Amino acid sequence: MRAVVSDIFLEMPRCYSGRCQRTFIHDTAVLWNTFASVVEVIRMSFQQLKCTAHAWLRTPA
């Protein structure tokens, strides 16, 4: 992962092949950015963040 774009969101790695876009880093950045856009993560403690992330992942898409 290159750099932090803001205080919360991560910059997507630059890649142009389908193989690169299916990597763990790319998928993790997409997942984090989606989660951070829905939940206000800055004001949470680490434990609150873990519990909220777990509940968010269990909700049906």
Length of the chain: 61
C-alpha to C-alpha distance for 25 and 9, rounded to whole angstroms: 14
pLDDT for the residue 26: 77
Lowest average pLDDT, out of 17-21, 35-39, 46-50, 55-59, goes to: 17-21
pLDDT for the residue 20: 64
Confidence of residue 4 (pLDDT cuts 50, 70, 90): very low
Query: pLDDT tens-digit profile of 37-54?
Result: 888 888 899 999 999 999
C-alpha to C-alpha distance for 61 and 38, rounded to whole angstroms: 13
Degrees, nearest 5: CA angle 10-11-16: 140
C-alpha to C-alpha distance for 53 and 24, rounded to whole angstroms: 18
C-alpha to C-alpha distance for 8 and 33, rounded to whole angstroms: 8
User: What are the structural domain ranges in the chain?
Assistant: 1-61
- Name the residue with higher pLDDT: 49 or 4: 49
Threshold 0.85, pTM exceeds: no
